[in-house]
Amino acid sequence: MESDYTYTEAELIQGLKARNQRIFNYLYDHYSPALYGVALKILNNENAAGDTLQEVFLKIWRNIDNYNQGKGRLFTWMLNITRNTAIDMLRSKSHKFDQKIQNVGDDVHLYTGHLTVYQSTDHLGLSKVLEKLNTEQRIIIDLAYYKGCTQDEIASILKIPLGTVKTRMRLAMIRLRNLLKTL
């Protein structure tokens, strides 16, 4: 019974505001893998990521009236909800900065080992990008975007001067963006 019909973003927003469950179903099918990937990356734990995903979609369903189209696209809004929810969960669990470093340490270990523990839905595209982005660049982007670290925290985790963080981040993003263009 799956239909191939693609809803526009405006239709999705309108449908959600009208509390249309069919639209919610569609939204889940189309966006849950991306959002689950984010939660999993932040939390490194399938159960916690699953709980987060559920909470995120309930927030989307309940708070769609707070979404302001003038401030950004729907996907950006949903991503921000996901990052905030997952980071909150991460911090509430760890409480301490130490724990966060520990988590990051685990990540660094992940980076040096297998490409990724979980199979992404676009494994080929991802490998292509990750192959050419060096570990240091991946880590700095991930610490900022996924782990929500501040510049100070990144400087302390990577043991680099604060002034270097900005430059490195910029270079990493330029490299990432150029790589994405080759896909």
Q: What is the contact surface with other proteins in residues (CB under 8 A)?
A: 19, 21, 24-25, 28, 32-34, 36-38, 40-41, 46, 49-50, 53-54, 57-58, 61, 72, 75-76, 79, 83, 116, 118-122, 125-126, 129, 141, 144-145, 148-151, 154, 165-167, 169-170, 173-174, 176-177, 180, 183
Least distance from other proteins to the Cβ atom of residue 161, Å: 15
Q: Which is nearer to other proteins, 93 or 123 (CB)?
A: 123
Least distance from other proteins to the Cβ atom of residue 96, Å: 21
Assigned token pair, 94: 């760890």
Q: Which is nearer to other proteins, 13 or 79 (CB)?
A: 79
Q: How many CB atoms lie within 10 A of CB 180?
A: 12
Least distance from other proteins to the Cβ atom of residue 181, Å: 8
Q: Which is nearer to other proteins, 79 or 103 (CB)?
A: 79
Alpha helix positions (H), the chain: 9-17, 21-43, 46-63, 74-94, 97-112, 123-132, 135-145, 151-158, 162-181
CA angle 87, 88, 91 (to 5 degrees): 85
Least distance from other proteins to the Cβ atom of residue 36, Å: 4
Least distance from other proteins to the Cβ atom of residue 144, Å: 4
Secondary structure (3-state) at 119: coil
**Could you write out the DSSP letters of every residue in 127-177?**
HHHHHHS-HHHHHHHHHHHTT---HHHHHHHHT--HHHHHHHHHHHHHHHH
